[in-house]
Chains A and B, each alone.
Chain A
């Protein structure tokens, strides 16, 4: 038997092995082109204290999380518990970016009762009524979470609701690692 005719078979075996491996990997996390880039600056009004503002500048020197959420987003409700526990247990300063929600015609002040009901884990809630900041950050679905390091560089992006598994395996080790890096 000439060996060359076995090539397609070998190719198939490799392919099947690869696809099999694919099951154990979470494919939904397509990295954002923003990873490794400086976090896009914003300066937005704060929820509850509209005369005060929150900006990326304020977060410099610490490892922080940006969580894009909205009261109209069903998956945000799903991740809320997990996210809250993560933020509280690991004391991660977090900006909740309220995306196209507060102050819009459709949703008005819904977010206030949403947070009142589910609890507010955020250090600051930034109001992005028109979604401009969301565009700057390349948001294409809500919820999304970004981990930013002490230098203000985006190091990780999580698309979709954060799961406990992702917290344990990705977010916690990453935050611990980033905290050791020099500012």
Chain B
């Protein structure tokens, strides 16, 4: 009964989505305000219905209703409740439902927090979101019904892929989806603005906080995914340039460009058509990401549901949605004149360089991701593009980007003098250079230009951000939230760059054979002593657990328990690394295989500053959050409400006068 209820709510949601997509738009062209007024209630009804649908599926998972096919094939009674819930989105159908639910959530949010937006504009936005919703709901109902029943329910369900039975991964997909789907809001605003033919600064102002919020979730989701890969996959890596990882990075890069480009459009009425294009791209790349994960066109550790028929639907959807947007763009963009003029040395140009670097980076990552497919499609064989390609392109492009990040903060809008800039930037530049050269000389054994470059860029970004923050006049707590946000986001980037540089340059990795209670293996000042191996029973797995004592300079520091876990029949054994986390370094030990005579193979890593990579991600996300809640956006609403009050007061006064 409950699953049918969920299925029914899903179908109702589709009909509501159709109303939401068609009526407001038709209302505008036919001049029927009562049709336009359907936009908001439709969006809210859709959220409610998908909420019901989602809750029904959660209920089926939590109560182990194995008559539902999805539950039977992805969940079992032995799993802790949190993984029963997360099993919902650890598969194709469920994750689509989550997608659609989140989309309706964004629609609901826009319908609530949009009192400053004129009805016509809002109707168009809601209508575009309705169209996107139709696409996904149709997809789900036609090809991937999550509520499908089994005629003969099994007594026990199958095991969820053990890689996914992990807290980090329980919350990673929802975060990422919030980001992916969040870009649909900026996309809808851009399309709505183009439909209306009025691409002024206003749409940019409305779209900015939404873009920021989407970006925060995406940043958080990527950070979480990277952290998960690090401790769960047991390879000690934090980024693998896997197609699906790239698929999440692409919208992030474009989204970052969009955030900055929106600023220019809002404040200077420049880059108008460019910003619209970025908004389209950010969402298109989110759709492309979904396509890559779902279709199995590219090889990836993440492609857990490869089904050509489904892939074809997403591809068609992608083609239609993005195709229509780009046709609209081709028709409207030529008429857009950027009114704001600017010189070669100006913040506009600074942000343009930032945008070009980000988009070039996006294009090269996209090319690298699709290259195997291109070569294959041309019949030139099968190849895989490895990390060297991505690392080689990201170093020069990243350098340009980070240099600009520091300088951009200080350049004035419209026109600036190079002498003034040099005067300001001289000090942080010299300080950054000194830090980059002196710190490696003091602390690391080998001197390498990559270390110097990485530290130079990181300290440059950090110092300029701090200098800019203090130059904003007012005392710290009176500064606008957007100033705090920008500073934190830039500092976060510096922290991440430091982490990446030091981890990739100075990590030590060794495969070693250790015998129990013999002298251990020494890495720098640390010694790893293997004590014993025993069986261990976890909540949803059996494990072989090793005990390894770690000594620092001869003194006991910590005991680590690397494990090999078995999550039951039909699953691969999983590696759970023993990690001693620290602010300045991680010690990481993974259990390998028995190699005879009571000895085991181990993989030992010493990873300096690896935490900084994710710490930076968190800082960036917090920065984005602060910027999204800047008082400016609330003020636009206040001004609007004030105006509306005045209008009504006028009306009442007029009516009073006529009566």
Residues of A near any B CB (own CB < 8 A):
1-2, 5-6, 8-9, 12-13, 15-16, 18-23, 25, 27-31, 74, 100, 105, 130-131
* Contact status A9-B330, CB under 8 Å: yes
Give chain B nearest CB distance to A139 CB in angstroms.
14
Question: Smallest Cβ distance from A6 to chain B, in angstroms?
Answer: 5
Residue-by-residue, is B317-356 near A (CB-CB < 8 Å gives 1, otherwise 0)? 0110011001101110110000000000000000000000
Contact residues in A for B277 (Cβ distance below 8 Å) = 8
Give chain B residues whose Cβ lies under 8 Å from the Cβ of A100: 593
CB <8 Å contact, B334 and A23: no
A27-B298, A27-B376, A30-B382 given as contacts; is B331 within 8 A of A19 (CB)? no
- Contact (Cβ within 8 A) A19 B373: yes
B374 within 8 A of A: yes
Q: Is residue B83 within 8 Å, beta carbon to beta carbon, of the partner chain? A: no
B311, B326, B329: residue with the most chain A Cβ atoms closer than 10 Å: B326
Q: Which residues of B contact A16 (CB under 8 A)?
A: 315, 318-319, 323
Question: A5: which of B333, B373, B381, B384 is its contact (CB, 8 Å)?
Answer: B333
Instruction: Collect the chain A residues with CB atoms within 8 Å of residue B329's CB.
Output: 5, 8-9
Q: Is B202 an interface position by the 8 A CB rule? A: no
Bound complex: CA of A31 vs CA of B384, how far in Å?
7
Contact with A along B581-610 (1 / 0, CB 8 A): 000000000000111100000000000000
Point out the residue from A2, A23, A31, A131 that lies within 8 Å of B295, measured CB to CB: A23
Which residues from chain A contact B333 at a C-beta distance below 8 Å? 5
* B299: chain A residues within 8 A (beta carbon): 27-28, 30
> Which of the residues A1, A2, A13, A18 comes within 8 Å of B373, measured between beta carbons?
A18
Question: With A22-B297, A22-B373 given, is the CB distance from A12 to B322 under 8 Å?
Answer: yes
Contact B377 A18 (CB under 8 A): yes
Give the CA-CA distance A31 to B386 in the complex, in Å. Answer: 12
User: At the interface, yes or no: B383 with Cβ under 8 Å from chain A?
Assistant: yes
**A1 lies within 8 A of B330 (CB):** yes
User: In the complex, are the beta carbons of B334 and A27 less than 8 A apart?
Assistant: no
Known: A12-B322, A31-B383. 15 other contacts (CB 8 A): A1-B331, A8-B281, A9-B330, A15-B370, A16-B323, A18-B377, A20-B312, A20-B315, A25-B297, A25-B377, A27-B296, A27-B297, A27-B373, A30-B382, A131-B593
Tell me which residues across on chain B come within 8 A of A20, comparing CB atoms. 312, 315
A9 is contacted by which of B273, B296, B323 (Cβ under 8 Å)?
B323
Residue of B nearest to A25 (CB): B376
Q: By the criterion CB–CB under 8 Å, are A23 and B330 in contact?
A: no
A residues near B377, Cβ cutoff 8 Å: 18, 21-22, 25
Q: Is B238 an interface residue (CB 8 A)?
A: no
The distance in angstroms between the C-alpha atoms of A171 and B327, with both chains bound, is 46
Complexed CA–CA distance, A73 and B471 (Å): 65
B187 at the binding interface (Cβ < 8 Å): no
A28 partner residues in chain B, CB cutoff 8 A: 296, 299
11 residue pairs from A and B, CB less than 8 Å apart: A1-B334, A5-B334, A8-B326, A8-B329, A9-B330, A16-B318, A21-B377, A23-B312, A27-B297, A27-B373, A29-B382
Q: What separation, in Å, do the CA atoms of A56 and B585 have in the docked complex? A: 45
- Give the contacts of B276-329 with A (CB-CB under 8 A): 277, 280-281, 284, 288, 291, 295-299, 308, 311-312, 315, 318-319, 322-323, 326-327, 329
Within the complex, the shortest CB–CB distance from B320 to chain A, in Å, comes to 10
Query: Could you tell me the distance in whole angstroms from the C-beta of B626 to the nearest C-beta in chain A?
Result: 33
A19 to B316, CA, bound (A): 10
B244-278 contact mask (Cβ, 8 Å, vs A): 1 or 0:
00000000000000000000000000000100010
Distance, CA A6 to CA B327, complexed state (A): 8
Chain A residues in 8 Å Cβ range of B384: 30-31
Contact A19 B376 (CB under 8 A): no
* Distance A104 CA – B308 CA, assembled complex (angstroms): 39
B374 touches A18 (CB 8 A): yes
List, in ascending order, chain B residues with CB within 8 A of A30's CB: 299, 372, 382, 384
Which residues of B have CB within 8 Å of A74? Answer: 570
Cα of A9 to Cα of B332 in the assembled complex, Å: 13
Q: How far is the CA of A160 from the CA of B281 in the complex (A)?
A: 36
B319 / chain A contacts, CB cutoff of 8 Å: 12, 16
Give Cα A29–Cα B376 distance, bound, in whole angstroms: 11
Scoring A6, A12, A25, A27 by chain B CB atoms within 10 A of each residue's CB, the highest score goes to: A27
Q: With A and B bound together, what is the CA distance between A68 and B449 in angstroms?
A: 44
**Residues on A with beta carbons closer than 8 Å to the beta carbon of B311:** 23
Residues in B whose Cβ lies below 8 Å from that of A131:
593
Which partner residue on chain A sits nearest B366 by CB separation?
A15
B284, B308, B322, B326: which contacts A23 (Cβ < 8 A)? Answer: B308
In the bound complex, what is the Cα–Cα distance between A20 and B280 (angstroms)?
21
Q: Tell me, in angstroms, the Cα distance from A75 to B312 when the chains sit together.
A: 27
Chain B residues closer than 8 Å to A31, beta-carbon distance? 381-384
Closest beta carbon of chain A to B8's beta carbon, Å: 33
Tell whether, in the assembled complex, residue A25 and residue B373 are in contact, meaning their CB atoms are under 8 Å apart: yes
Closest-CB distance, A132 to chain B (whole angstroms): 10
